[in-house]
A and B are shown apart, each in its own frame.
Chain A
């Protein structure tokens, strides 16, 4: 079982809608969680990180963490066509603090 699981999608939403991206992790000792965005042919770039249970908001993006359920999500409000990309969930876990990625979810925002 991969340590970080994501629905590969594709997820398609209309412009202006809320996009909801989900991620689960298997290691209960995971400490930190990151959401990266990757445009086609480009390298990943960090959108948000979250360490504590609850919500964390940054502009149109909200990360949610529920450690009891081992669940992390990313909400994108007022989705724009420029948000179309693959979103990668990552977790830091283990005694050696490896950064492990999920397979990514492809999001398409339709004008």
Chain B
């Protein structure tokens, strides 16, 4: 049972390049999330998907787009990467939004130069 799988684990981009971070979960969870983690800032919610077919903005959505491809997969896209998007990105899933545990992927360390 893999849980939540993110790809890639590491990525270096040049300013202006685009890329998509992939996330898949095999726990049949309804809800999925994308967070970024920066030193001293904790985990900040970028976007989330409460259920298949829905997506909503979180705390820091600017510069990102998401797609809930199906119940298993939730991708995060950077259309034109900026150095301010250098961060560690975590995907998470939970049975539903609300009072349930969120399980995290192993993270993607992204550097934009």
Contact = CB atoms under 8 A, between A and B. Distances in A.
Interface of A: 6, 8, 31-32, 34, 42-46, 49, 51, 88, 90, 92, 96-104
Contacts of B97: 92, 96-99
Nearest to B59: A100
Contacts of A31: 98-99
24 contacts: A8-B40, A42-B107, A43-B90, A43-B105, A43-B106, A44-B43, A44-B104, A46-B102, A49-B99, A49-B101, A88-B43, A90-B43, A90-B102, A96-B97, A98-B45, A98-B58, A99-B33, A100-B59, A101-B35, A101-B43, A101-B44, A101-B45, A103-B41, A104-B43
Interface in B7-55: 33, 35, 40-45, 48, 50
B79 interface: no
A98 B33 CA distance: 10
B42 A102 contact: yes
Interface of A is mostly: strand
Interface residues of B, number: 25
Interface string B85-110: 00000100010011101111111000
Interface of B: 33, 35, 40-45, 48, 50, 56, 58-59, 90, 94, 97-99, 101-107
- Which 8 A/B pairs are nearest by Cβ-Cβ distance? A103-B42, A97-B97, A43-B104, A101-B43, A97-B98, A32-B99, A46-B101, A101-B42
A92 B104 contact: no
A88 B104 CA distance: 13
A57 B8 CA distance: 38
A88 B59 CA distance: 17
